[in-house]
Amino acid sequence: MPSSIVIGSQWGDEGKGKVIDILASQAEVVVRSQGGNNAGHTVVNNGVTYKLHVVPSGILYPDTLCLIGAGVVIDPKNFLEELQMLKDKNISTKNLKIDPRTHVVMPWHILLDGLSEQFRGNSDIGTTKRGIGPAYMDKYERCGIRMYDLVHPEIFRQKALSTGALKNKIITEVYGGEAFDLEAVIAEYTEYGKQLASYVDDVSVLTYEANKAGKTILFEGAQATLLDIDFGTYPYVTSSHPVSGGVCTGTGVGPKMIDRIIGVAKAYTTRVGKGPFPSELNDEIGDKIRNIGGEFGTTTGRPRRTGWFDAVIVRHSVRVNGLDGLALNKLDTLCGLGDLKVCVAYKKPDGTILKNFPAALEELDGVEPVYETLPGFTEDISGCRSFDELPETCKAYIKRVEELIECPVCMIGVGPDRTQTIERN
């Protein structure tokens, strides 16, 4: 397929990095279109683990063009560290390009992310504190600093002085924090701009030209549908559009370019940060899933909340993204857990059954998950490479998931490595 989108279908960390890395073996271009270094995408190849935050997960292929689209926000300091990490592992970044329209995460965004979370107290969102929300706020306020500005020292200086003065006022007078020395920030970030200048190119044009030349393009989603600013569990969401619709606006291409949309989910559910999670398990099984699945954040190291597969949220993702297929990862983690439950609906305290994920969190107050119970499995499936090799219980689990979410499961993950995947048509 020439152009495919790979998108998160739950609350993030579904294994998008692994799926992109696998599909990238047949792609010539991989594009990121939203989010920033709040994302943490893991790729495991030959026992070596790569943790990527902003660099597209196609980077391990030396000839693949890796593009960072206009909708992404970049923390230049952290990004340069990520490039250094890749260079240290002998991974070339020569085919990496950043759109000049990407917004720059400045140090005041990071500080303000922490200060506003602190101000919210118990009502905090549980952000990654990477400055993502404040950077997108400035973008929409129309006072952001873009990559184009960063690599033009005079323009950068002017913009950093004017926006920096306002940020210092907010930091000191609203939060009682310490002001930034703007000259020191300008000197430090001008240096980052110099190091990044050669990467800057128009990603909208590059993607368009690649498509015209018949190249295979993969659009790599970050975060996930339930973290979308409109279609997620607002306000416990991120500040961008991680849904398939966000890919076009975040790259600068038209929707007719997209041929296929793949969602990624785990065979259970996890979430980091706060917010509703109807099928959450605060018990021994939840702990087991966390420990067996290694459910600790790639970016922040925070323990992930865990629970049963929730067909309500994945069906929501099928609709919102127009999914053609679902990659179901980490089936191996469910080994030995006993009977498996799948959440098929929510029951409100008045007995009403919710089959579709509601628009407002208030609608979820006091809901109980309605579960279907399916037989579990004890066989080691990490070596299975075809659907037929899976135990009958696993096959039945996948088939029931497909019926419930109304979408075919096109890939099954049985381990973290590139090779530990079952592909189905």
- Which residues are near ligand GDP by CB under 6 A? 8, 12-18, 40-42, 44, 294, 298, 329-330, 332-333, 413-416
Using the contact rule CB under 5 A, the part of the chain among 30-38, 199-207, 298-306, 343-351 near Mg ion is: 298-306
Q: Establish if 126 lies at the interface with ligand IMO (CB under 6 A).
A: yes
Give the nearest distance from C-beta 19 to Mg ion in angstroms: 12
CB closer to ligand GDP, 43 vs 367: 43
Give the nearest distance from C-beta 34 to ligand IMO in angstroms: 10
Give the nearest distance from C-beta 292 to ligand IMO in angstroms: 19
Whose CA is closest to 364, among 310, 305, 286?
Answer: 310
Whether 387 and 424 have beta carbons less than 8 Å apart is answered as yes
Q: Which does 329 bind (CB under 5 to 8 A by kind): Mg ion, ligand GDP, ligand IMO, none?
A: ligand GDP
Using the contact rule CB under 5 A, the part of the chain among 101-109, 296-304, 364-372, 417-425 near Mg ion is: 296-304
SS3 letters for the chain?
CCEEEEEECCCCCCCHHHHHHHHHHHCCEEEECCECCCCCEEEEECCEEEEECCCCCCCCCCCCEEEECCCEEECHHHHHHHHHHHHHCCCCCCCEEECCCCEECCHHHHHHHHHHHHHHHHHCCCCCCCCHHHHHHHHHHCCCCEHHHHCCHHHHHHHHHHHHHHHHHHHHHHCCCCCCCHHHHHHHHHHHHHHHHHHECCHHHHHHHHHHCCCCEEEECCCCHHHCCCCCCCCCCCCCCCCHHHHHHHHCCCHHHCCEEEEEEECCEEECCCCCCCCECCCHHHHHHHHHHCCECCCCCCECEEECEEHHHHHHHHHHHCCCEEEEECHHHHCCCCCEEEEEEEECCCCCEECCCCCCHHHHCCCEEEEEEECCCCCCCCCCCCHHHCCHHHHHHHHHHHHHHCCCEEEEECCCECCCEEECC
Residue from 4, 7, 13, 146 in contact with Mg ion (CB under 5 A)? 13
Q: Which does 127 bind (CB under 5 to 8 A by kind): Mg ion, ligand GDP, ligand IMO, none?
A: ligand IMO
Q: Establish if 286 lies at the interface with Mg ion (CB under 5 A).
A: no
Burial of residue 178, with CB atoms counted within 10 A of its CB: 0-12 exposed, 13-18 middle, 19 or more buried:
exposed
Whether 381 and 331 have beta carbons less than 8 Å apart is answered as yes
CB closer to ligand IMO, 211 vs 225: 225
Is 13 designated active site? Answer: yes
Enumerate residues 172-201 that contact ligand IMO by CB under 6 A.
none
Give the nearest distance from C-beta 188 to ligand GDP in angstroms: 29
CB closer to ligand GDP, 211 vs 299: 299
Is 310 designated active site? Answer: no
Select the residue whose beta carbon is closest to ligand IMO and give its number: 273
Catalytic residue among 13, 21, 99, 138: 13
Whether 43 and 74 have beta carbons less than 8 Å apart is answered as no
Residue from 4, 38, 116, 420 in contact with ligand IMO (CB under 6 A)? 38
Catalytic residue among 21, 41, 138, 332: 41
CB closer to ligand GDP, 18 vs 97: 18
Q: Which does 413 bind (CB under 5 to 8 A by kind): ligand IMO, ligand GDP, Mg ion, none?
A: ligand GDP
Name the residue with tokens 């096109």.
410
CB closer to Mg ion, 13 vs 21: 13
Q: Establish if 317 lies at the interface with ligand IMO (CB under 6 A).
A: no
Using the contact rule CB under 6 A, the part of the chain among 21-29, 33-41, 95-103, 319-327 near ligand IMO is: 33-41
Enumerate residues 26-85 that contact Mg ion by CB under 5 A.
40
CB closer to Mg ion, 40 vs 415: 40
Q: If binding means CB under 6 A, how many residues of this protein chain bind ligand IMO?
A: 23
Q: Establish if 73 lies at the interface with ligand IMO (CB under 6 A).
A: no
Can you name the residues that pair with 67 across neighbouring β-strands? 31, 97
CB closer to ligand GDP, 40 vs 133: 40
* Chain residues that interact with Mg ion, rule: CB under 5 A: 13, 40, 298
Residues designated as active site: 13, 41
